[in-house]
Amino acid sequence: MTQKLRLGMVGGGQGAFIGEVHRIAARLDGQWDLVAGALSSDPDRALDSAQDLGLDADRSYHSFEEMAAAEAQRPDGIDAVAIVTPNHMHADPSIAFLNQNIHVICDKPLAANLEQAQAISAAAKRSTAHFILTHNYTGYPLIRQARAMIAARELGDIRVVQVEYAQDWLTEEVSNKQADWRTDPSRSGAGGCVGDIGTHAHNLMCFVTGLTLESLSAELSTFVEGRQLDDNVQAKLRFTGGARGSLWASQVAVGNENGLRLRIYGTKGGLEWSQENPNQMNFTRFGHPKQILTRAGVSSDASNQAASRIPAGHPEGYLEGFANLYRDAADLIRATRDDSFQAPEHHIGLQDGMDGMKFILACLHSSQQQGTWVNLLDVN
Amino acid sequence: MTQKLRLGMVGGGQGAFIGEVHRIAARLDGQWDLVAGALSSDPDRALDSAQDLGLDADRSYHSFEEMAAAEAQRPDGIDAVAIVTPNHMHADPSIAFLNQNIHVICDKPLAANLEQAQAISAAAKRSTAHFILTHNYTGYPLIRQARAMIAARELGDIRVVQVEYAQDWLTEEVSNKQADWRTDPSRSGAGGCVGDIGTHAHNLMCFVTGLTLESLSAELSTFVEGRQLDDNVQAKLRFTGGARGSLWASQVAVGNENGLRLRIYGTKGGLEWSQENPNQMNFTRFGHPKQILTRAGVSSDASNQAASRIPAGHPEGYLEGFANLYRDAADLIRATRDDSFQAPEHHIGLQDGMDGMKFILACLHSSQQQGTWVNLLDVN
Amino acid sequence: MTQKLRLGMVGGGQGAFIGEVHRIAARLDGQWDLVAGALSSDPDRALDSAQDLGLDADRSYHSFEEMAAAEAQRPDGIDAVAIVTPNHMHADPSIAFLNQNIHVICDKPLAANLEQAQAISAAAKRSTAHFILTHNYTGYPLIRQARAMIAARELGDIRVVQVEYAQDWLTEEVSNKQADWRTDPSRSGAGGCVGDIGTHAHNLMCFVTGLTLESLSAELSTFVEGRQLDDNVQAKLRFTGGARGSLWASQVAVGNENGLRLRIYGTKGGLEWSQENPNQMNFTRFGHPKQILTRAGVSSDASNQAASRIPAGHPEGYLEGFANLYRDAADLIRATRDDSFQAPEHHIGLQDGMDGMKFILACLHSSQQQGTWVNLLDVN
Amino acid sequence: MTQKLRLGMVGGGQGAFIGEVHRIAARLDGQWDLVAGALSSDPDRALDSAQDLGLDADRSYHSFEEMAAAEAQRPDGIDAVAIVTPNHMHADPSIAFLNQNIHVICDKPLAANLEQAQAISAAAKRSTAHFILTHNYTGYPLIRQARAMIAARELGDIRVVQVEYAQDWLTEEVSNKQADWRTDPSRSGAGGCVGDIGTHAHNLMCFVTGLTLESLSAELSTFVEGRQLDDNVQAKLRFTGGARGSLWASQVAVGNENGLRLRIYGTKGGLEWSQENPNQMNFTRFGHPKQILTRAGVSSDASNQAASRIPAGHPEGYLEGFANLYRDAADLIRATRDDSFQAPEHHIGLQDGMDGMKFILACLHSSQQQGTWVNLLDVN
């Protein structure tokens, strides 16, 4: 029996969405125990939340600073901390735990601005701990197969990448816990839609294609009156090596619940995948009929199989994909400590997070300058 | 904080499929701890499996009899046991735990034959414990909404029910742990395809429609040479009140992974749902355009919402549906002990299991008699 | 230039549905000119209709008898007649034209009862003219490819055939020209839904699989109060050679416009096709990913290509499929006269029509006898 | 009976694709007779083609000039001419027939360059004849309903328009009659993909939304080595009034046969339509479930019904949509002559064609200038 790992959490108190997702993801494979938390900046809510989750009272902390210090001292201290606060509250706790050499599993995007991101990066360099960013869509089995297929050149040279992420929940002015911070620049950062979901689209396409985004030309729009941040993003993309792409992200596209879609075309083949039915992916070899590849199906490669729990046709979803990141995190931490464990082939880390921040900023800069092409290397 | 419940397991040792599904389902919402097991009839495998799962050595038992007796004596004994053995091994452990007044969560179908089923039934009547059968497809949020919509007469009087469950994994002769017992009458019972998946189709249509199946005319076929049990089932159905239906189940339908599909038509509307994309359901009011209802979407009713964990468009799948049964089981057990808890509106129990057994037998009898209509009341 | 053929029409006056479909189908490829008609039993409507269609006044006849006699005398008489009357009016005009050795293109089903069907058959045997029955769904390019694939044994031995034809237009009592005769036994024959659409399903599955339907067990239902004919059909099927099947036809399945669907499973592969999106067909070789074959696409065989007019991705529909029957009819007639023309590989003729009549009767007989298996050879 | 109209054709000889499409479209509703042609610049092919089509020998002309002059003199001269030559050969024949006051039905795009387009425009102003451009996708019934719904403000204010047209037939170097002229700037004009299919996407989105495209920022790419024209287009769009959009057109997107797709989002609702299954359209009112509207279905408006021939569920396709343009053309010509006929609500004419030319040029200019926003008013 492999010992379970001990997890702490910053944020994720009552009423939170993504905190509960992280907890389910951590529980699903039975490799993590949630044992400590600084679940809310409101002390009463923090305590109530901790009780709901069955944390020992002495491991429900008033602040992440206190938690980082205390857990680092305990012989049974946490192995990793999940940071599930709004964007502007990613950096300080990340740094606090990295400074204690406690592994950090942080929700995306990396931070609310580049300064914070760079501070995290500096802390990570000083630390022996890993930093893992939960771009959870990379956890889907077919996404991993897509990445492997492209790496194996089954599509030939990539020419065109079309990625989109369409939602409609911000079609009108909304006020609730989830909407409020995402539309508030002081908590979300300068990117609205581009930071919340545009970064997922950006990360996913980079993860799958392995391409380097060289430059982009973007237009951010705000359609709902009074909203301070963008709610629609359109961008043209140029990749190193000559591929071209388009990215569209919207929170006002009526009729779209969570429409993250990725299409990739190369000299030899094409792939098409949609998050809302993630257990299927279309694959066409040029000159041959379109095939429907499935999660854990007859055409699965090793990466698809490894990321699947149950047979084909029994749909796995968002939570299982997210749980794959927690499984990878466990593998990574164990492999760091013990050579008999194998590290995951890949994890989304600081470099990806920094790329995401630069993507956000490049979109903002380009949009402010009438869509001028902005080279990602020039974003600092 | 609500105390977690303690779960034991009979069966589900290394290499099992459905045992691991039960464990994930129990873990997912953090309401159950697996603490005891008689995981295999092979002592070494039992012990290895228990270690993998982190069970205390003294709660890894050599037999379910020993486990039932011992756990009943412990002050921290299990609250419920999950029985995940092949069909012919459902009855004895169920009875052993019921006799100790320990709640039983048993995989479907109820048993390998009617005698076993009746023995379970008798034990349940003597026991204070609940008996829960995991017809897991009833856990899908949209299936629950479908049931509620029909109960609220949104389809009017039901006229036609078309249900099917198509797989292809037994298209050719297969030999592996999963296939072997399912095609062996001594372990599976007299029904092959009809017992393994036909019962799911039967249970789902009854759960959703609320109709009583009155009689059926069936033909069981065995297409793979040398196979001892049926691998294809076709049946016509008559329901009390005049509705008519068809049921098709197959394990040799090439191109189908796990194609459980339900279509229901009434005087006022129609519903169509397919398990492989369970987050959508088509609903048509007669004379109006077809609507796509979604899990947790804008049209969700209370039952859909209650069975959902995350927002619409973030797909939940098979494991989440299964986990809903474990959540219901927890609620049921707690409500039994403490009035402040609310029992679930419904759970699949002994009567459903007995109906499933009679369905299997009616199919067998009808098929042996050239498709004569067999009244379900006449199956004894 | 190949001379156009001259077409006459019986029935199809103002307000008719299928008459106009035949006319469009005949026009589409420019191989037929409509030059004569007995378009309605109402003389005024007949004349008005003829004027609308630009027929010469002297070729708008008061009766089909008159038309058959007159056209047979003309040097520029019609090459073929399209019979598009209600079912009970198929036999007399068919016989009249066959007796004049004028080719007959008759709408399905063959007749309203077996006596009429046999009379047509007898007349055809005496005649030098061809008899063509417009089971138009056999005209779809992918249906022709499906037939060729099965003939080439790409599915291996056929095991299971699931065919269905679901509509909802008769969900409630309806009164209009189309509904009235279809629900009137004196015009439609003893079969309602089974004759109107069940025969299409029957014909299509036989055409594609090449199997002989040996016997069936059926239940016909009438759900709408006061309706004299069935509006729902469920049948189990046994084919010579051991294949099994199910057929469902319904006119009360709310949410279905014209849902003709065919699924065929063999030892080596499976095919799935749906009429409402006829330009795609799923094909799975056992152990390989599902493929989407398309009309005129990269995987098209000769039959698919020959039945297509425009490139893949430019959808062809119902009218083009129907037009393929008129193209075949033209080829057949020309080949009869002139060796330099090639007859079509296949056409739906009297034997298919007789099989359809026996299918209807077998369903009626079986249903009247509680679903007893009725051998098609015993229907006389 | 309404007299049929007489049609002539320039181009469309043996081996042509779009000429045959025009002929089928003209035939389908029985309102046109093809009676004259200058079918090929190769005299032998012209004659053979004319014979194939049954034209009188004296109406198979050696040149369009001759044909325009001769037909204008005949009492039974053509009512309209269809011009189905490559792009660079649209202007001269259009002008010749307009000069004779013969109506012109011209394939898209308007011309190979702006000078030619302006020359046509000037000729049209001098002529009493109509000029009709066959942007055939506007003929689909659901596209017409979409236009009407937006005009009726069912989507509220339009915010986002996503249009795409993806094909894969030019993924590799191809040489055939269709590919050759489309990739040759001397025949196609300076736009490759942007002119061939980008203009369809542009026209369709303008037709449906009623919006004015104000400016665009485009990138044209050529992925196949040695190709002289673009084979991939990505553009950001700004509409008068503030709506934003993206356009993607590609001929190298492996796995796409003819993927023209339009998605439109407004303050109150969203519409989604795909050409490959044109009989369905998704419509979502914000806060309500997605609906599937169908051609001729229960939710059809007058424009959908008027453009449909057969009941819902019987798919109409590309040819029927094209035929609607010929039906409109007939109505337009008749209404011009006779007040008792009603002109169609709309036809695609010179202004649309000029807009299309400016769209092509704006894309070229923008792309040459690194994606600078080009105002459509500045294109001259």
Q: Is A336 in the C-facing interface, judged by CB distances under 8 Å? A: no
Asked whether the beta carbons of residue A282 and residue D373 sit closer than 8 angstroms, the reply is no
- pLDDT of residue A1 exceeding 60: no
Of A28, A297, A316, the CB nearest to B28: A28
- pLDDT of residue A197 exceeding 90: yes
Which two structure tokens, joined as six digits, stand for A244? 């071209």
Any idea which architecture C141-301+355-374 has in CATH?
2-Layer Sandwich (3.30)
Q: Kindly list the distances between the CA atom of residue A291 and the CA atoms of B85, C131, C152, C288, C292, in Å, as whole numbers in the listed order.
A: 37, 41, 22, 9, 6
Domain residue spans of chain B: 5-133, 140-308+355-374
What fold characterizes domain D141-310+355-374?
A: Dihydrodipicolinate Reductase; domain 2 (3.30.360)
Percent of chain D past pLDDT 90, that is, above it, reads: 93
Residue of C nearest to D1 (CA): C52
Q: What b/e sequence results for D122-154 when a residue is b if at least 16 CB atoms lie within 10 Å of its CB, and e otherwise? A: ebbeebebbbbbbbbbbbbbbbbbbbbbbeeee
Contacts of A294 in chain C (CB under 8 A): 289
pLDDT at B375: 98
- pLDDT of residue A154 exceeding 80: yes
Residue of C nearest to B159 (CA): C223
Q: How far apart are CA D296 and CA D300, in angstroms?
A: 5
Q: Which of D35, D52, D250, D257 best tests the C interface by mutation, with the highest count of C CBs <10 A?
A: D257
Q: By the 8 A CB rule, do A48 and A60 touch?
A: no
Residue of C nearest to A293 (CA): C289
Residue labelled with tokens 């408006």: D301
Any chains having at least 3 CB pairs less than 8 A from chain B are A, C, D
Q: Kindly list the distances between the CA atom of residue C349 and the CA atoms of C103, C115, C266, in Å, as whole numbers in the listed order.
A: 12, 17, 27
- The stretch A344-366 carries a mean pLDDT of 96
- pLDDT of residue B374 exceeding 80: yes
- The stretch B337-345 carries a mean pLDDT of 92
Q: How far apart are CA B271 and CA C255, in angstroms?
A: 8
- pLDDT of residue A60 exceeding 90: yes
Residue D36 confidence class, pLDDT cut points 50, 70, 90: very high
Q: Provide the edge-to-edge strand list for the sheet that holds D32-38.
A: D32-38, D5-10, D80-83, D103-106, D131-133
Q: Is C277 in the A-facing interface, judged by CB distances under 8 Å? A: no
Asked whether the beta carbons of residue D288 and residue B298 sit closer than 8 angstroms, the reply is yes
Contacts of A51 in chain B (CB under 8 A): 1
- The stretch B227-256 carries a mean pLDDT of 97
Q: How far apart are CA D357 and CA D348, in angstroms?
A: 14
C3 versus D209: the higher-pLDDT residue is D209
Contacts of C53 in chain D (CB under 8 A): 1, 30
Q: At what angle do helices A318-337 and A18-28 cross, to 10 degrees?
A: 60
Query: How many CB atoms sit inside 10 A of residue C227's CB?
Result: 19
Residue B290 C-alpha, separation from nearest chain D C-alpha, in angstroms: 5
Contacts of B289 in chain D (CB under 8 A): 283, 291-294, 297-299
Which two structure tokens, joined as six digits, stand for D184? 């040759």
Residue of C nearest to B264 (CA): C253
Q: Is A242 in the B-facing interface, judged by CB distances under 8 Å? A: no
**What's the residue count for chain B?**
380
pLDDT at C165: 98
Residue partners of B152: CB distance under 8 A and separation at least 6: none
Contacts of C291 in chain A (CB under 8 A): 289-292
Q: How far apart are CA C294 and CA A291, in angstroms?
A: 12
Q: Is C337 in the A-facing interface, judged by CB distances under 8 Å? A: no
pLDDT at A330: 97
Which tens digits make up the pLDDT trace of C310-327? 999 999 999 999 999 999
- pLDDT of residue B39 exceeding 90: yes
Of A205-209, B303-307, D337-341, the one with minimum mean pLDDT is D337-341
Contacts of C289 in chain A (CB under 8 A): 283, 291-294, 297-299
Residue B257 confidence class, pLDDT cut points 50, 70, 90: very high
- CATH class entry, domain D5-133: alpha beta
pLDDT at B186: 87
- pLDDT of residue B90 exceeding 90: yes
- In terms of Cα–Cα distance, which of B174, B157, B251 is closest to B209? B157
Q: Is A234 in the D-facing interface, judged by CB distances under 8 Å? A: yes
Any chains having at least 3 CB pairs less than 8 A from chain D are A, B, C
Query: How many CB atoms sit inside 10 A of residue B177's CB?
Result: 12
Interface of B with D in 53-92 (CB under 8 A): none
**What's the residue count for chain A?**
380
Q: What b/e sequence results for D267-302 when a residue is b if at least 16 CB atoms lie within 10 Å of its CB, and e otherwise? A: bbbbbbbebbebbbbbbbbbeebbbbbbbbbbbbbe
- pLDDT of residue D131 exceeding 90: yes
Q: Kindly list the distances between the CA atom of residue C73 and the CA atoms of B66, C77, C101, in Å, as whole numbers in the listed order.
A: 98, 7, 11
Q: At what angle do helices A318-337 and B318-337 cross, to 10 degrees?
A: 90
ipTM rounded to 2 decimals: 0.96
Asked whether the beta carbons of residue A1 and residue B28 sit closer than 8 angstroms, the reply is no
pLDDT at B1: 56
Residue D191 C-alpha, separation from nearest chain A C-alpha, in angstroms: 18
Which tens digits make up the pLDDT trace of D72-99? 999 999 999 999 999 999 999 999 999 9
Asked whether the beta carbons of residue A298 and residue C289 sit closer than 8 angstroms, the reply is yes
Contacts of D243 in chain A (CB under 8 A): none
Answer yes or no: pTM beyond 0.95.
yes
Residue A175 confidence class, pLDDT cut points 50, 70, 90: confident
- The stretch B85-111 carries a mean pLDDT of 97
Chain mean pLDDT for chain C: 96
Q: Kindly list the distances between the CA atom of residue D189 and the CA atoms of A77, D135, D195, D375, in Å, as whole numbers in the listed order.
A: 71, 18, 8, 21
Q: Is C228 in the A-facing interface, judged by CB distances under 8 Å? A: no
Q: By the 8 A CB rule, do B10 and B86 touch?
A: no
Query: How many CB atoms sit inside 10 A of residue B340's CB?
Result: 7
Chain mean pLDDT for chain B: 96
Which two structure tokens, joined as six digits, stand for D367? 């792309």
Q: Is B287 in the A-facing interface, judged by CB distances under 8 Å? A: no
Asked whether the beta carbons of residue D310 and residue C30 sit closer than 8 angstroms, the reply is no
pLDDT at C234: 98
3-state secondary structure of D285: strand
Which tens digits make up the pLDDT trace of B102-145? 999 999 999 999 999 999 999 999 999 999 999 999 999 999 99
Asked whether the beta carbons of residue D317 and residue C313 sit closer than 8 angstroms, the reply is no
- The stretch D311-327 carries a mean pLDDT of 98
What fold characterizes domain A140-311+355-374?
A: Dihydrodipicolinate Reductase; domain 2 (3.30.360)
Asked whether the beta carbons of residue A254 and residue D286 sit closer than 8 angstroms, the reply is yes
Q: How far apart are CA D288 and CA D298, in angstroms?
A: 18
Helix (H) or strand (E) holding D54: none
Asked whether the beta carbons of residue C289 and residue A287 sit closer than 8 angstroms, the reply is no
- The stretch C78-106 carries a mean pLDDT of 97
Which tens digits make up the pLDDT trace of A98-130? 999 999 999 999 999 999 999 999 999 999 999
- pLDDT of residue D180 exceeding 90: no
- The stretch C185-190 carries a mean pLDDT of 86
Contacts of D149 in chain B (CB under 8 A): none
Residue D16 confidence class, pLDDT cut points 50, 70, 90: confident
- The stretch A243-247 carries a mean pLDDT of 98
Helix (H) or strand (E) holding C255: none
pLDDT at D1: 56
Residue partners of D122: CB distance under 8 A and separation at least 6: none
- pLDDT of residue C169 exceeding 90: yes
pLDDT at A15: 83
Q: By the 8 A CB rule, do D137 and D275 touch?
A: yes
Q: How far apart are CA B54 and CA B11, in angstroms?
A: 16
Torsion of CA C113, C114, C120, C121, to 10 degrees: 160
Which tens digits make up the pLDDT trace of D95-105? 999 999 999 99
Of C168, C283, C371, the CB nearest to B286: C168
pLDDT at C17: 87
What single letter denotes the amino acid at residue A244? Answer: R
Which tens digits make up the pLDDT trace of A287-305? 999 999 999 999 999 999 9
Q: Is C152 in the A-facing interface, judged by CB distances under 8 Å? A: no
Residue of A nearest to C299 (CA): A289
Which tens digits make up the pLDDT trace of D237-277? 999 999 999 999 999 999 999 999 999 999 999 999 999 99
- pLDDT of residue C1 exceeding 70: no
Q: Is A292 in the C-facing interface, judged by CB distances under 8 Å? A: yes
HEC per residue, A158-206: EEEEEEEEECCCCCCCCCCHHHHHHCCHHHHCCCCHHHHHHHHHHHHHH
Asked whether the beta carbons of residue B259 and residue A167 sit closer than 8 angstroms, the reply is no
Asked whether the beta carbons of residue A244 and residue D171 sit closer than 8 angstroms, the reply is no
Which two structure tokens, joined as six digits, stand for D23? 């002929």
Q: Provide the edge-to-edge strand list for the sheet that holds A32-38.
A: A32-38, A5-10, A80-83, A103-106, A131-133
- In terms of Cα–Cα distance, which of A107, A227, A102 is closest to A170? A227
Residue partners of A79: CB distance under 8 A and separation at least 6: A5, A6, A7, A102, A103, A333
Which tens digits make up the pLDDT trace of C193-242? 999 999 999 999 999 999 999 999 999 999 999 999 999 999 999 999 99
Q: Is B280 in the D-facing interface, judged by CB distances under 8 Å? A: no
CATH number for the segment(s) B140-308+355-374:
3.30.360.10
Helix (H) or strand (E) holding A49: helix A43-52
Asked whether the beta carbons of residue A309 and residue B24 sit closer than 8 angstroms, the reply is yes
Q: By the 8 A CB rule, do C217 and C245 touch?
A: no
Asked whether the beta carbons of residue B289 and residue D292 sit closer than 8 angstroms, the reply is yes
Q: At what angle do helices D141-151 and D318-337 cross, to 10 degrees?
A: 70
Interface of A with D in 159-188 (CB under 8 A): 159-160, 162, 164, 168, 171-172
Asked whether the beta carbons of residue A292 and residue C297 sit closer than 8 angstroms, the reply is no
Which tens digits make up the pLDDT trace of B143-193? 999 999 999 999 999 999 999 999 999 999 988 888 888 888 888 888 999
Residue A146 confidence class, pLDDT cut points 50, 70, 90: very high
Residue B375 C-alpha, separation from nearest chain A C-alpha, in angstroms: 33
Residue D121: what are its φ and ψ, rounded to 5°? Answer: -60, -45
